Structure formats: structure tokens, C-alpha cells
């Protein structure tokens, strides 16, 4: 091939330098700006992680600062009425991810004048604005997909609670049941675990698109499209479909055999990872969170929990999975938890997106801090005439 290496899927090519997150695939460790994910989940909130990722590793020293930042985000969660009308025009039955990537792209039309490559501060505002509005756009996307009237943000609520509120409240703004701190904290953890993860497909997409000098919301919209696929962020939804399809613990062995069969395209969803060759630390935290919620009396779908546990038990002792280092990944248990939180399945991937948005924004900010941004331009191996 001459001057370059053939590396489909870029399994061994680094396209950038980054300080943001590090995935140790051998040890099964994940850090954001040097902070292990376990420490962040234990001591901090998602809003703190947002600041960490878009603030060059800044960690709030006091609760007051963190609260103030959260209030700023919630204050920015309202969207322009024109954008609401665009979302309203999407047909019922559409997938919320299609709606969400379109509305984030459309947001670049509402903030077009404000962009100037020279001013870093503008980008900081752009990042806060999109992170603030993504839960609103995601909740609106869901309501549009089921043909329900929108519920506007409630600025008296916290960032995560406000999202649940917009998703659940009746059109007149009342809730059937108040949102519980247990639910808020569980969703907060899920968001934190999804916030950044090296050059995964969607982050690499955001960087690639941003490298051309385009409006950052256009790059983020491309990231949302990349995330939607079932090999990536769409896996959480596919895991639930698969658990339903397996239907009963007694069928697990049969499906494991299918997953191992090289003549069958069936794969165990929520298993395997390009970088982790050991247990995904995010999956470990989620497995424990599932047990904690169960103990706290949050109603689980026991049948699906049993199937998932059985899959894990069988697969993690099976030669096929062991020799290929295939373990549960972040998507394996997240769907079960989200179902217990009464979140509709079509919202699993949008929830991943809300979690990943600060990581994408941090990566764009990092890219733009480079003096000479190199446009992404891989080579190809020409095999034609």
C-alpha cells in the first residue's frame, strides 16, 4: 500500500491527543481528567462532571459553586418557540434520536450570529447552552414521537429532575407522583457513566466534523447520528429487545449458542467492546446500582433481570466469550435500570446522548484550543480498476 497503513475501524490509529478521558482496557478502568469514575459517582453529581469536562478538568470546590452552575444550566434549558414548532412538525412514531439529531442541527440556525472562531468564551457559552437544552430537546422528541403536547422546563427543579419532569408531567404541568430523589440519583449516575469515553464512534465523528471548522452544533448533531446505531449507543435499546425476545431463562443457552455460531449473525447485545478486554467498570457500577434500587424497593422487571443475570453467568464462563474477552458493557444493565425508572425504551439512547453531550463538547473545546487544527482525512486503499 505504499505510504500508509491499512487500519479499518482505526483499531490501532490515534487521531488526536486528549486529556479528557482514559480507558484502560486491560485493567477495566475509566478516568475523567484523572478522576476514577468510581470516585466521581461516589462524591459528585452529573453537573460537576459537566463542568469537569467542559472546564479543562475544573472540579467545583464547594457545593455553592456547583449549585450555581446547575441553576445556570436549568435557566438555559428553555428553547426558542420556532424550534418547538419544528419539533412539533415531526411525525408521530418517529424515533426520538432522529428527532434529536435534527433539532440539535436546527439549533445552529438559532445561534448562527453568535459564532466567532476567535473567541473561546463564545464556545464555552455554546457548550453550556447545548448541554442545558439537550434534556429539553430529548423530552420534546419523545413527546413528539407519541403525539403528546410538550411540557416546558421548570426552572425550580435540578438539571436531572427537570428532564424527568418534562418527560413525565401531564400537559398541564402536574405530575401524577412527585419525582423521587432515588430516581434522580440513579439517572444522575447513568449520565455520569456515559459522559466521555475516549474516541468512541460518536466522539470521533464529532471531532472529524468539527475539524472542518463547521458550526459546533452541526458537529454535535453528527455525533448524535453516529450514536444512534445499535453497535454503539443504540445497544441499550437492543439489549431490552433481545431480553424480551429470549423471554425466559430456559432459552438462554440456546441464544448463547446462536451468538457463538459463526454462520449466524446474532450477537449478544451489551457484550463486547473495542477497548475493554476485561469487565467494563461502568457495567460493574450499574450492576450494583440495579441491586441497590431493588433493595430500596424500586420495582424491577424480575423476569428480564433473571434472564440478564443468567446470560452473564453463562457467557462469563464460556470459552468462546473468555477467549475473545467479551464481558458485559455499559449498555447491558442500563436498560433494566431505565425500565425500572419507568423510562420508555425509545428514550434509552437519547439518555445516553444527554450523558455524552458534555464529553463531546469538551472534545470540541479541546480541539479548538489547538493552534493548528488538522482536518481529518484518512486514506483509502484503492482496489478499483
Binding of ligand CMC at residue 194 (CB under 6 A)?
no
Q: Which of 87, 243, 330, 347 binds ligand CMC (CB under 6 A)?
A: 330
Q: How far is the CB of 212 from ligand CMC (least distance, A)?
A: 24
Q: Which of 77, 101, 200, 339 binds ligand CMC (CB under 6 A)?
A: 200
Q: Which of 71, 95, 232, 277 binds ligand CMC (CB under 6 A)?
A: 232
Whichever of 90 and 320 has its CB closer to ligand CMC, that residue is: 320
Residues 288-327 vs ligand CMC: string with x where CB under 6 A?
------------------------------------x-x-
Report the C-alpha gap between 366 and 164 in whole angstroms: 31
Q: Helix or strand or coil: residue 271?
A: strand
Report the C-alpha gap between 246 and 257 in whole angstroms: 12
Binding of ligand CMC at residue 267 (CB under 6 A)?
yes
Tell me the CB-side half-sphere exposure of residue 371, using CA atoms within 13 A: 0
* Contact (Cβ atoms closer than 8 angstroms) between residue 4 and residue 17: no
3-state helix, strand, coil in the chain (%, to 5): 60, 5, 40
Q: For the chain, list the strands marked E by DSSP.
A: 21-24, 29-32, 35-36
Which residue in the list 188, 196, 273, 280 is annotated as catalytic? 273
Q: How far is the CB of 57 from ligand CMC (least distance, A)?
A: 23
Binding of ligand CMC at residue 245 (CB under 6 A)?
no
Q: How far is the CB of 341 from ligand CMC (least distance, A)?
A: 19
Report the relative pairing of strands 29-32 and 21-24 from DSSP bridges. Answer: antiparallel
Binding of ligand CMC at residue 347 (CB under 6 A)?
no
* Contact (Cβ atoms closer than 8 angstroms) between residue 61 and residue 115: no
Q: How many CB atoms lie within 10 A of CB 297?
A: 7
Q: Which of 268, 337, 347, 367 binds ligand CMC (CB under 6 A)?
A: 268
Report the C-alpha gap between 73 and 100 in whole angstroms: 19
* Site residues (vs ligand CMC, CB under 6 A): 9, 200, 231-233, 235, 259, 267-274, 324, 326, 329-331
Known catalytic residues?
273, 331
Amino acid at each position: 500500500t505504499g505510504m500508509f497503513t491499512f487500519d479499518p475501524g482505526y483499531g490501532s490509529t490515534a487521531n488526536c491527543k486528549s486529556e479528557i478521558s482514559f480507558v484502560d482496557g486491560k485493567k477495566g478502568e475509566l478516568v475523567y481528567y484523572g478522576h476514577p469514575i468510581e470516585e466521581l459517582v461516589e462524591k459528585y453529581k452529573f453537573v460537576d462532571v459537566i463542568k469537569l469536562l467542559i472546564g479543562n478538568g475544573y472540579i467545583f470546590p464547594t457545593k455553592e459553586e456547583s449549585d450555581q452552575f446547575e441553576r445556570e444550566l436549568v435557566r438555559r434549558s428553555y428553547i426558542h418557540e420556532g424550534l418547538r414548532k419544528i419539533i412539533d412538525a415531526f411525525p408521530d412514531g418517529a424515533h426520538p434520536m432522529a428527532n434529536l439529531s435534527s433539532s440539535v442541527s436546527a439549533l445552529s440556525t438559532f445561534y448562527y450570529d453568535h459564532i466567532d472562531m476567535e473567541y473561546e468564551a463564545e464556545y464555552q457559552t455554546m457548550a453550556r447552552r447545548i448541554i442545558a437544552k439537550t434534556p429539553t430537546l430529548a423530552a420534546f422528541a419523545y413527546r413528539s414521537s407519541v403525539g403528546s403536547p410538550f411540557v416546558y422546563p421548570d426552572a425550580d427543579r435540578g438539571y436531572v429532575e427537570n428532564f424527568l419532569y418534562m418527560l413525565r408531567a401531564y400537559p398541564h404541568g402536574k405530575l401524577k407522583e412527585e419525582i423521587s430523589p432515588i430516581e434522580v440519583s440513579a439517572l444522575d449516575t447513568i449520565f455520569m457513566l456515559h459522559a466521555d469515553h475516549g474516541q468512541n464512534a460518536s466522539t470521533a465523528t464529532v471531532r472529524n466534523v468539527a475539524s472542518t471548522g463547521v458550526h459546533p452544533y452541526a458537529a454535535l448533531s453528527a455525533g448524535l447520528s453516529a450514536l444512534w446505531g445499535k453497535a454503539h449507543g443504540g445497544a441499550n435499546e437492543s439489549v431490552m429487545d433481545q431480553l424480551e425476545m429470549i423471554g425466559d431463562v430456559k432459552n438462554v443457552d440456546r441464544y448463547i449458542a446462536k451468538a457463538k455460531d459463526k454462520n449466524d449473525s446474532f450477537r449478544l447485545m451489551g457484550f463486547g467492546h473495542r477497548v475493554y478486554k476485561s469487565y467494563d467498570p461502568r457495567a460493574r457500577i450499574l450492576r450494583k446500582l440495579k441491586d441497590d434500587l431493588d433493595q430500596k424497593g424500586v420495582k424491577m422487571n424480575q423476569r428480564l433481570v433473571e434472564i440478564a443475570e443468567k446470560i452473564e453467568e453463562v457467557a462469563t464462563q464460556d470459552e468462546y466469550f473468555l477467549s475473545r474477552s467479551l464481558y458485559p458493557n455499559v449498555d447491558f444493565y442500563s436498560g433494566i435500570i431505565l425500565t425500572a425508572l419507568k423510562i420508555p425504551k425509545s428514550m434509552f439512547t437519547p439518555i445516553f446522548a444527554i450523558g455524552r453531550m458534555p464529553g463531546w463538547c469538551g472534545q470540541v473545546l479541546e480541539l479548538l484550543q489547538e493552534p493548528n487544527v488538522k482536518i481529518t482525512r484518512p486514506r483509502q486503499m484503492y482496489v478499483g480498476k
